[in-house]
Amino acid sequence: MKLCVIGTGYVGLVGAAVFADWGNEVVGVDIDEKKIKKIESGEMPIFEPGLEELVLENIKAGRLKFTTKLKEGMKDADIVFICVGTPQGDSGQADLSYVLGVAGEIGKNLQKGRYTVVVTKSTVPVRTNERVKEVIQSVAPKGVKFDVVSNPEFLREGYSIEDMQNTDRTVIGAQTERAKKVIRKLYGHLESPIVETDLRSAEMTKYAANAFLATKISFINEIGQLCEKAGANVQEVARGMGLDKRIGTRFLVAGIGYGGSCFPKDVAALSRTSLDFAYDFSLIRGVMRVNDLQKHSFTSKIYQEFKGEALGGKTFAVLGLAFKENTDDIRESVAIKIIHLLRGRGASLRVFDPEANENARSYLGDVGIHYAKDAYDAMKDADALLVLTEWKEFRELDLQKVKKLLKNPTIFDGRNLLDQAEVEGAGFKYHAVGKRTNAYHGTDVKSALLPK
């Protein structure tokens, strides 16, 4: 089929490349000419494993093209995908200006005598696709035939190609059988189930999925808080819980809270949507509150360790700046928030991330921060080591080398990434999340109700 993909962010660029790889003729459209030029020359705007190769291969095979001109991109397209951003607005709502702006442009460029399916892949609140349809209808030439479809994307950054190729399911929300048939043809070769539904249910599915995953994370973070106080171990509890197939082991890793371009924004938007419908979704407000507190619980361990709240004169080595492993994305990264908190109290930082150093530098600047060339460079003469992103390579640190480089053998592991027995055995004071370590600061609660 002929496809036009509007927007070359994560969803759009990965989507365009994967659709082309499936044998479709794809044109990616973006208003940013510089970005388009870079992509064409093989320079990806984001770090995403396997993306560069996939884009170049499909350009070479003649199946993938890019343009800044929507009219050109939409020429003879069977399906037009909207993959532009829906950033968080001032009161938590999703800002739909890009989506609706693009809908208007699509409307003007629909061809007479052709049936086109307009698919929204951007994450949009329930009922948005009906607005997309209205906007298109209001500007489209008379008699043009089109349908709108909601087809949310569930890919994870860092694994997006794999996630698109081997998705757990495809959700297609549509108003007509004709539209569903076109989209089914695109995804029909995948082995996973296709969920066919109405527009509103498809839109809601995306928010429900992200909010549920965020709930899992906040839930295990609260269990972690309790484990630490009660002398239990959150990692073992998560394993014991997760092996129940109804629960599942994934997304039960306690840490410093979730970040990224999706969870914080989508959870806030769902909360806002519930208010728009005069419903108080109290659980989701709890999820957000727990997530916000989690980083403070982590930094309070640092303040306690260094006795007092002003950290002037202290230097911390930080491993990990991206919001998670395998990406250079620092949007809503909790690591960056923690750096802000520590710098705000006068601390200096020596930081390292395998991919996100440059993005962090352009956001945080250089004041009080040294961007290290590798993990060990970050540790030189630091008062303690902070592990803030779950990059695999940080699991394999040479602990003897770490000990020699740090001023004090003290580690705050915000992701429970390191092996507690090894770290403590190597003579470190080890702070972790949701379990007692040799650095446990809490005091046992004295309650008449607790068993002796």
Reading the block at residue 397, the tokens are 């640190």
Q: Does 210 bind ligand UDX (CB under 6 A)?
A: yes
d(CA 150, CA 174): 7
The CB-of-380 to ligand UDX minimum distance in angstroms stands at 27
The CA distances from residue 427 to 298, 341, 400, 409, 423, in Å, are: 21, 28, 9, 7, 7
The C-alpha angle 153, 211, 157, rounded to 5 degrees, equals: 40
Please check if 205 is assigned to a binding site: no
d(CA 170, CA 426): 48
Nearer to ligand UDX among residue 67 and residue 299 (C-beta) = 299
Contact 331, 323 (CB under 8 A): yes
Residue 154 neighbours by CB distance under 10 Å: 18
Q: Quick one: which segment of 22-30, 167-175, 258-266, 393-401 binds ligand UDX (CB under 6 A)?
A: 258-266
Half-sphere exposure of 435 (CA within 13 A, CB side): 23
> Which one among 36, 106, 118, 262 touches ligand UDX, defined by CB under 6 A?
262
Q: Quick one: which segment of 173-181, 222-230, 255-263, 310-318 binds ligand UDX (CB under 6 A)?
A: 255-263
Contact 241, 251 (CB under 8 A): no
- The residue type at 271: S
Q: Does 107 bind ligand UDX (CB under 6 A)?
A: no
- Helical packing angle, 282-305 and 263-276, nearest 10°: 140
Q: Does 217 bind ligand UDX (CB under 6 A)?
A: yes
Q: Residue 117 pairs with which residues in a beta bridge?
A: 79, 147
Q: Does 252 bind ligand UDX (CB under 6 A)?
A: yes
Nearer to ligand UDX among residue 18 and residue 136 (C-beta) = 18
Q: Does 353 bind ligand UDX (CB under 6 A)?
A: no
The CB-of-113 to ligand UDX minimum distance in angstroms stands at 36
Reported in sequence order, the residue ranges of 265-311 that DSSP labels E, i.e. its strands, are none
The CA distances from residue 275 to 96, 259, 269, in Å, are: 17, 23, 10
- Helical packing angle, 199-230 and 263-276, nearest 10°: 120
Please report, as residue ranges, which positions from 11 to 30 form the binding site for ligand UDX (by CB under 6 A). Answer: none
The CB-of-331 to ligand UDX minimum distance in angstroms stands at 9
Catalytic residue check, 83: no
Q: Quick one: which segment of 128-136, 253-261, 352-360, 403-411 binds ligand UDX (CB under 6 A)?
A: 253-261
Please check if 145 is assigned to a binding site: no
DSSP code of residue 94: B
Please check if 251 is assigned to a binding site: yes
DSSP code of residue 355: T
Q: Does 121 bind ligand UDX (CB under 6 A)?
A: no
d(CA 349, CA 358): 15
Please report, as residue ranges, which positions from 372 to 391 form the binding site for ligand UDX (by CB under 6 A). Answer: 390
Q: Does 125 bind ligand UDX (CB under 6 A)?
A: no
d(CA 84, CA 97): 10
Please report, as residue ranges, which positions from 306 to 335 form the binding site for ligand UDX (by CB under 6 A). Answer: 323-324
Reading the block at residue 20, the tokens are 């082309």
Q: Does 251 bind ligand UDX (CB under 6 A)?
A: yes
Q: What counts of helices (H) and strands (E) characterise the chain? A: 17, 14
Nearer to ligand UDX among residue 11 and residue 375 (C-beta) = 11
Q: Residue 413 pairs with which residues in a beta bridge?
A: 387
The CA distances from residue 285 to 10, 225, 289, in Å, are: 28, 18, 6
Q: Does 155 bind ligand UDX (CB under 6 A)?
A: yes
Q: Does 339 bind ligand UDX (CB under 6 A)?
A: no
Please check if 255 is assigned to a binding site: yes
> Which one among 19, 66, 154, 430 touches ligand UDX, defined by CB under 6 A?
154
Nearer to ligand UDX among residue 415 and residue 431 (C-beta) = 415
Number of residues that bind ligand UDX (CB under 6 A): 20
* Residue least distant from ligand UDX (Cβ): 262
Q: Does 156 bind ligand UDX (CB under 6 A)?
A: yes
Q: Does 202 bind ligand UDX (CB under 6 A)?
A: no
Contact 151, 183 (CB under 8 A): yes
Please check if 381 is assigned to a binding site: no
Please check if 156 is assigned to a binding site: yes
Annotated binding site for substrate: 154-157, 206, 251-255, 259, 324
The annotation places the binding site for NAD(+) at: 30, 35, 86, 123, 157, 265, 331
Numbered residues of the known binding site:
30, 35, 86, 123, 154-157, 206, 251-255, 259, 265, 324, 331
Catalytic positions: 262
Q: Which residues bind to ligand UDX, rule: CB under 6 A?
A: 153-157, 210, 213, 217, 251-253, 255, 258-260, 262-263, 323-324, 390
